[in-house]
Amino acid sequence: MDIKGKIIQKMEPVGGVSKAGNQWKKQEYVLETLDSYPKKVKFDFFGDRADQYPLEVGDVITLSYDIESREFNGRWYTDIRGFKAMKEDPNMVAAAAPYPPAAGAPAPAPAPAPDGGMAPPAPIDNTFEQGGVGDDLPF
């Protein structure tokens, strides 16, 4: 799965040694989507990918990720694990980002019908009002 957004926070890297004696490293970030109603998404790069994709606050990226859940002591934990990050040109993204119209701005006029006039309204289905086939009410 992919998501596009801007890095708004970079946490301190975390690392350690597993039970098997292997070194591990994790780098966490928070991404804010570029939607009209932005969402914040915390994700991480684990292992070698933590060094492979060095990101900084302000970078606009397309993140490829997997969602992974695991159980520990009867509770479930979910991670968004990035496996690829492609940096975008922030100038191109800003020009293409959809923004809602400004408050008080006039609404766009409806498009005219192909013949130049307004399209006729859709027919109204009043089968129930006429006691037709769909009338299954007991009164």
Residue type, 131: G
Is 34 in contact with 4 (CB distance < 8 Å)?
yes
CA dist 84 → 2, 63, 67, 99, 123 (Å): 9, 6, 13, 27, 51
Report pLDDT for 46: 93
Residue 136 has pLDDT above 80, yes or no: no
Q: What's the pLDDT band for 5 if we cut at 50, 70, 90?
A: very high
Report pLDDT for 35: 92
Strand positions, DSSP E, the chain? 2-10, 14-17, 23-33, 40-46, 60-72, 75-87
Residue 9 has pLDDT above 80, yes or no: yes
The structural domains of the chain, ordered by start, are 2-96 (2.40.50.140)
Report pLDDT for 105: 55
In the chain, pLDDT over 70 holds for what percent of residues?
Answer: 64
Tell me the backbone φ, ψ of residue 92, rounded to 5 degrees.
Answer: -70, -40
Residue 19 is given by DSSP the state T
Least confident among 24-28, 57-61, 82-86, 108-112: 108-112
The helix/strand/coil state of 139 is coil
Report pLDDT for 104: 55
Instruction: For residues 55-68, give the mean pLDDT.
Output: 95
